[in-house]
């Protein structure tokens, strides 16, 4: 009797253990979840690029880490009817050798090209169907020269595509001190070319890589030797003069109507003095000679 009770208890314990083990196998852990994309969303305060005040708002930042780079897509608020979204593509590359081939084989990112074909191909993908004209004007911001193209999207709204590669002291094609790639696509129906170009002039890098030898920006230029010394005035840069406002003109006073002048009659011409006596009139003798 006692043996049967013990045998029943052992069977119940074994069955419970098997049941719990089965339940444990069905419970998923977070490490078992696999995503098809390696990109993650980060807080907008962690964006690698910061735009000046008054710029389009940042609505999201997507980041992906590579073995040789950190890349972000900074999504900006978009309005208008031109296909696509306003965004900044930025990538920080390490000082290691960069891959020559495209793709992410081996989790490596290729440094985007800055030749005309590479720029046109990328611009066509971000601004499909928009006729963009490359600017031949030399422009540069605090990080160096950059290029841009301007065009008109749907409804005539202003569209800007700007690109820049920042690499200090090395070849632009295989930099050894690291590199930063920035590409900006913005369309706005209420903006002008000058206001959109201001974003490319005044953006700032918001991070850096803690890697030995990584210094694509380089040291800041030394201040003016005369800074802070007497007799060395510093004048502010001349600002563009504001457009002249139209001054309202005074209403013209009504002119009095012209009174038609009476036609003037020319006086009769003087009749010539006859040189012989007139018939029917007495002859008057001439005055005596002195």
DSSP codes of every residue in 112-172: PP-SHHHHHHHHHHHSTT--EEE--S-EEETTEEEEEEEEE-GGG-EEEEEEEEE-SSS-S
- Establish if 73 belongs to a structural domain: yes
Question: Tokens at residue 135, please?
Answer: 């600017």
- Establish if 257 belongs to a structural domain: no
Residue 3 clears pLDDT 90, i.e. is over it: no
- Establish if 239 belongs to a structural domain: no
- Establish if 2 belongs to a structural domain: no
Q: Which helix (H) or strand (E) covers residue 193, if one does?
A: helix 193-202
- Establish if 48 belongs to a structural domain: yes
The pLDDT tens digits of the residues spanning 88-97 come to: 999 999 877 6
- Establish if 186 belongs to a structural domain: yes
Domain tally for the chain? 1
Q: Are 278 and 271 in contact (CB under 8 A)?
A: no
- Establish if 225 belongs to a structural domain: no
Q: What Cα–Cα distance (Å) separates residue 131 from each residue in 18, 66, 84, 186?
A: 69, 34, 14, 14
- Establish if 112 belongs to a structural domain: yes
Stated pTM of the model: 0.66
Q: Could you tell me the end-to-end alpha-carbon distance of the chain, in angstroms, rounded to an integer?
A: 199
Q: Are 148 and 137 in contact (CB under 8 A)?
A: no
pLDDT computed for residue 241 by the predictor? 41
Residue 279 confidence class, pLDDT cut points 50, 70, 90:
low
Round to whole Å and give the CA distance between 163 and 140: 11
pLDDT computed for residue 274 by the predictor? 60
Of 142, 253, 139, 247, nearest in space to 196 by CA: 139
Q: Span 277-285, mean pLDDT? A: 61
The pLDDT tens digits of the residues spanning 24-43 come to: 556 777 777 788 788 999 99
Q: Are 200 and 141 in contact (CB under 8 A)?
A: yes
Q: Give residue 185's domain range.
A: 40-205
């Amino acid at each position: 009797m006692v043996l049967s009770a013990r045998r029943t208890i052992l069977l119940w314990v074994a069955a419970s253990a098997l049941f719990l083990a089965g339940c444990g196998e069905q419970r998923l852990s977070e490490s078992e979840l696999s995503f098809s994309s390696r990109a993650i969303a980060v807080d907008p305060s962690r964006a690698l690029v910061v735009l000046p005040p008054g710029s389009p708002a940042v609505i999201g930042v997507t980041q992906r880490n590579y073995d040789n780079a950190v890349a972000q897509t900074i999504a900006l608020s978009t309005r208008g009817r031109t296909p696509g979204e306003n965004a900044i593509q930025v990538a920080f590359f390490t000082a290691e050798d960069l891959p020559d081939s495209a793709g992410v084989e081996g989790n490596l990112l290729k440094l985007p090209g800055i030749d005309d074909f590479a720029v046109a191909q990328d611009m066509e993908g971000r601004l499909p169907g928009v006729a963009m004209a490359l600017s031949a004007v030399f422009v540069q911001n605090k990080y160096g020269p950059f290029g841009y193209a301007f065009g008109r999207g749907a409804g005539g709204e202003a569209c800007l595509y700007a690109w820049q590669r920042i690499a200090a002291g090395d070849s632009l094609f295989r930099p050894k001190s690291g590199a930063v790639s920035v590409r900006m696509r913005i369309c706005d129906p209420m903006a002008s070319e000058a206001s959109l170009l201001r974003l490319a002039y005044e953006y700032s890098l918001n991070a850096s890589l803690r890697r030995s030898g990584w210094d694509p920006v380089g040291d800041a230029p030394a201040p003016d030797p005369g800074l802070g010394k007497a007799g060395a005035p510093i004048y502010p840069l001349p600002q563009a003069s504001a457009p002249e406002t139209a001054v309202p003109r005074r209403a013209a006073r009504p002119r009095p109507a012209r009174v038609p002048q009476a036609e003037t009659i020319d006086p009769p011409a003087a009749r010539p003095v006859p040189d012989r006596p007139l018939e029917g009139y007495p002859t008057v003798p001439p005055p005596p000679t002195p």
